[in-house]
Structure 1
Amino acid sequence: MTVLVFLDPAYPDGRPADAGVPALMINDLGVTRGDGIFESLLAVDGVPRKPDAHLDRLGSSADLLDLRIPERAAWERAIATALALHAGDAGPTGRAAVKLVATRGVEGAGEATAWVQVTSAPDNAAQQKDGIRVLLLDRGYDSLAASRAPWLLLGAKTLSYAVNMAALRYARANGADDAIFTSSDGKVLEGPTSTVVLATERNGVRTLLTPERRSGILAGTTQDALFRAAEAAGWELGYGPLVPEDLFQADGVWLASSIRMLVPVRSIDGRGLPFSETLNAELVKLADAAL
């Protein structure tokens, strides 16, 4: 079941719409140019996880695009309406994927089109338990491009995801499950839909690391929640810069995202990585508690 709720000033709690019929104008700039932003978050038993973090990031993306979107309270009400409709008469149960979307709207209208979509979340239990195979793929720009060329919108979660999806198709066509982007100057960036997390233990000091955000990667909400919980549990934290060899030297590598949560990486470019079921379970528990 797919639930669709538009943010509409005439409907304070959102305007429900039939997801099975056309709902966008053909000249909406989100359709014709990919000019818009989105967020994806997980809801468990009808309760969204870390909605504030996702709404913060939605606002940051809107700022980078000079895009005026509905106020935060309107999003919160629409999310609540959509989740209530998705639960239906049976009550809120299970895991749901919540997607927030805002486009620049119909060309010339000067008003954003915004909606909340809720579907059942996919079952990622097998990947979370068994891990995934990953390829390193060149993203095509260096690690300083974000500051040098802000018009590239690096660090914004835009609707222009064709490159990200192409990277996933390439990885799967070449015997892998996912990808990790690297910069043209050899720095580790992020996955097409995820944040990279490394764990190391050196001289009794346990550290979690992630690539530095100034390299133009998206700020990871799941990674951030995990880091906060890990720091409280005694872990040290690090924020890059990282190079591919750091991945192979780590005691474990994960891809973190809102829907899949933490997925261990078992190999990169066909080269096996260390994996500890105990460490994996510990980090999954920390992330789950934090979220």
Structure 2
Amino acid sequence: MTILVFLDPAHPAGRLADAATPTILATDQGVTRGDGVFESLLAIDGVPRKIQAHLARLAVSARTMDLTIPSAATWQAAITTALTAYAATAASPATDVPATDDGGSGPAGAAAAASSAGGSAPAEDQCVVKLIATRGPEGGNSPTAWVTVSAVSPSLAVQREKGLAVMLLERGYDSDLAARAPWLLMGAKTLSYAVNMAALRHAHSQGADDVIFTSSDELVLEGPTSSVLLAHISDDSGVPVKRLITPHLDTGILPGTTQGALFAAAKAAGWELGYGPVTPADLLDADAVWLISSLRLLAPVNTIDGHEVGAAAIRAELTSELAALLAQTL
């Protein structure tokens, strides 16, 4: 089941439409060129999580692309309409494929399972809210914007519970490119995800679940649909010191809303925080590594290119601790 609501000036609260009926023009530049922006966020018990952070990132992405989109208040009204309609029809049999982070299911997502790990709430209380805005039909000056609400894929719970086999893939540019070439829109969440999806398909064909991109000068960037975190645990005169690290944004990666929320919670809990640069060797030397995103939440990385990350017991302990902190932000 998917609920579709268009942002329409004639309908201040949004216009409900049939998601099973074609409603986007064939000439829409979001379809023909991937010219648009989007956000995906989790809603629990009908309440969208980190909505201000997602709306702020959507606005930044749009400004980066010189794209005019509706106001935050207009998006919020449409989101409310969509979530209300979803709740009213949630008891109906699902007819659509549940939304996923990666557009498909790799080896770790082949089976369905329910889990409370990774900072998640019970699956029946969750849904996925997607915000999409395009430049509109070719030759016009009227952006198209809509909201969808759909179920969360059970495969995401599997990834949180079982962990991931990840492979490193070069993204094809050096870590300084974002500053030299702003027209490449690095750091914006655009609809042009063909390369990201191709990377995931390649990983699946090689028996891996997901990907961590690296730059040509061998720095860790991000996953195709996630941010990268790593943890180091050290001893200071018998007192454990826990440090959580993520690659810095200067490399042109997307600022992670869920990573930011977890960092704030971890800092309040006494963790030290660090921001890149991070190398592949740093990942393999870490006590634990995770991929984190708004839908998947916190998924531990078991192996990178076939090499185990840390010790399984420590990885599980740290995942449990951080998942509990992340759950406080949901």
Q: Which of residues 268, 277, 287 in structure 2 aligns to 1:241?
A: 277
- The letter for the 2-side match of 1:112 is P
Greater RCO, 1 or 2 (C-alpha within 8 Å, sep 6+): 2
Equivalent residue number for residue 228 of structure 1:
264
Q: Is 1:277 aligned with 2:309? A: no
User: How far is the alpha carbon of 1:125 from its aligned partner?
Assistant: 2.1
Equivalent residue number for residue 215 of structure 1:
251
Q: Is 1:192 aligned with 2:228? A: no
TM-score by length of 2: 0.86
Aligned-partner Cα distance in 2 for 1:161–1:234: 37
TM-score by length of 1: 0.98
User: How far is the alpha carbon of 1:89 from its aligned partner?
Assistant: 5.7
Aligned-partner Cα distance in 2 for 1:222–1:194: 9
Aligned pairs for 1:108-119 within 5 A: 108-119=139-150
Cα deviation per residue 1:233-258 (whole Å; 9 max; x = unaligned)?
00110010000000011110000000
Cα deviation per residue 1:170-204 (whole Å; 9 max; x = unaligned)?
00000100000000000000000000000111233
- The letter for the 2-side match of 1:277 is A
Aligned-partner Cα distance in 1 for 2:130–2:73: 16
Aligned pairs for 1:88-107 within 5 A: 88=88, 94-107=125-138
Structure 1 pair 36/89, CA: closer, same or farther in 2 (3 Å)? closer
- The letter for the 1-side match of 2:329 is A
- The letter for the 2-side match of 1:283 is L
Equivalent residue number for residue 118 of structure 2:
none
Matched pairs, number = 291
Equivalent residue number for residue 81 of structure 1:
81
Q: Is 1:67 aligned with 2:99? A: no
- The letter for the 2-side match of 1:41 is L
Gaps of 5+ in 1: none
Structure 1 pair 181/90, CA: closer, same or farther in 2 (3 Å)? closer
Secondary structure in structure 1 of the residue aligned to 2:328: helix
Equivalent residue number for residue 192 of structure 2:
160
Aligned-partner Cα distance in 2 for 1:232–1:133: 30
Q: Is 1:286 aligned with 2:325? A: yes
Cα deviation per residue 1:245-286 (whole Å; 9 max; x = unaligned)?
000111100000000100000000011112332211111111
Equivalent residue number for residue 112 of structure 2:
none
Cα deviation per residue 1:199-239 (whole Å; 9 max; x = unaligned)?
11123321100001010100001100000000000011001
Aligned-partner Cα distance in 2 for 1:89–1:30: 29
Cα deviation per residue 1:40-95 (whole Å; 9 max; x = unaligned)?
0001111111100100000000010000000110000000100110111668x521
Aligned-partner Cα distance in 2 for 1:45–1:21: 27
Aligned-partner Cα distance in 2 for 1:226–1:215: 21
Moved over 3 A (4+): none
- The letter for the 1-side match of 2:244 is L
Gaps of 5+ in 2: 92-123
